[in-house]
Structure 1
Amino acid sequence: MTPGGWRDRDARLSRQLGLGWPEEPLLNALRLSPTARVLDVGAGEGRLLRALRARGHRGEVVGLDPEPGEGVQRGVAEQLPFPDASFDAVLLVRVLAHLHDPARAVAEARRVLRPGGRLVVAAQGEWHLARLRRLGEALWESPPPPTEADLVFPVVLTPEDVRALAASYGLNLSGRDLPSPLTDTLHLRVEVERR
């Protein structure tokens, strides 16, 4: 993916969808307690945390990323710099497919969860979804199995949108005849494990 490509892609998809992608659909589905202490692992620039605060969230929200934006702490998923049982929810949104040791990251997320807390893993796109499926057995303890949800939203894209989205992945579609409009879907797979 090109530098900044995911930011441009998400901004374009948010405009076409009419809500912030993927933060708004995810937060709508999760319905976190407004006082929960939340850790977003792989927070990047902190978009999900800002969306949570904009909803009136009063609990502490912490973001962690190896290349943090403003208000996000520097750190890695495989070695969380927090004490045991310190968060009500740990979010791993579109991050596991990018990690060298996703099983270790999930173990660390479980370590910092309070009893009754929720571990949330979300993946978007076929590559992320395929990686999540391959990791599934190694990541989730049983019983109980995680709660699963597929958030699927129709989106209408212009040829310009399609070219820009392809470019965010380093693909060049210039000169190609594309259908107008193109109807597609946005898909976010969400798995929640209650501790």
Structure 2
Amino acid sequence: MHGPGDVRFFDRVARLYDRFAPPTDPEPIWAGLARADRPVERVLDLAGGTGRAARAIAAPVGTARTPETVVVDASRRMLTHAADRGTTAVQGDAGRLPVRDAATDAVVVLDALHHLPDQAAALAEAARVLRPGGVLVIREYDPGTLRGRALVAAERAVGFDSTFWGPDAWAAAVDDAGLVPTVLDRGFAFTVVGKKRESH
């Protein structure tokens, strides 16, 4: 799911990752999930590592039921830590998800899409596994902002082969994948949602 060098890095830092990762704000994720035209009962946390997004949405406000969440990632060690925290974890490639068609109500990609070597394939796979009316929720960083430029430089210094895009570019890519895009918010961190059209 990540580039080979990125996977090796995440395998090395898995034990300490949650200690140093920024806290996850569930509000933008929930705002994205609220765009679904169907009940969100199953969520795929794509390139989810230790399951930060899965844990962030595990206690929804004002809903009757916590969705079932599955983390898919290429890093076995990151997934071990997700499983240790009680999250269902599956090793897999974002460009060839081990998930059947129309199997989930939502796909969430939190701070991870820029690491994936074939982003178009990952978005196409997300669209494939979504049920009609389901949503893809992307939370990313804008390289056009001051903090975004600093993050790009930092990731290059670490040796990541990251590809950062702004919200409009991600919205266009989501559209290319066959989903209906909406930019929910902008700034250093931003949210793009892609909705799968209802089948007729």
Tell me if both proteins adopt one fold, taking TM over 0.5 as the criterion: yes
Q: Distance in 1 between matches of 2:99 and 2:55?
A: 21
Asked if 2 retains the 8 angstrom alpha-carbon contact of 1:123 and 1:129, the reply is: no
Aligned to 1:146: 181
Aligned to 1:123: 140
Aligned to 1:60: 68
* Structure 1: tracts of 5 or more residues without a match: 15-20, 153-186
Measured against aligned partners, the alpha-carbon deviations of 1:66-121 in whole angstroms (never above 9, x if no partner) come to: 11131321112111111100111011222221011000000000000001110111
SS of equivalent to 1:131 = coil
Structure (1/2) with the larger strand percentage: 1
1:129–1:191 CA distance, 2 compared to 1 (3 A)? farther
The two structures have a TM-score, normalised by structure 2, of 0.63
1:52–1:34 CA distance, 2 compared to 1 (3 A)? farther
1:79–1:52 CA distance, 2 compared to 1 (3 A)? same
Which residue, 105, 108, 114 being the options, matches 1:91? 108
> Which residue identity lines up with residue 148 of structure 1 in the other structure?
V
RMSD: 3.1
> Which residue identity lines up with residue 42 of structure 2 in the other structure?
R
Moved over 4 A (4+): 31-35, 132-136, 142-145
Q: Distance in 2 between matches of 1:94 and 1:61?
A: 17
Which residue, 122, 127, 140 being the options, matches 1:105? 122
Deviation of the 1:50 alpha carbon: 1.8
Between stretches 88-97 and 54-63, larger displacement belongs to 54-63
Q: Distance in 1 between matches of 2:186 and 2:170?
A: 20
The two structures have a TM-score, normalised by structure 1, of 0.64
Report how many residues are paired.
152
Aligned to 2:195: 194
Aligned to 1:26: 28
* Structure 2: tracts of 5 or more residues without a match: 1-5, 143-147, 153-161
Q: Distance in 2 between matches of 1:138 and 1:151?
A: 17
Q: Distance in 2 between matches of 1:37 and 1:130?
A: 28
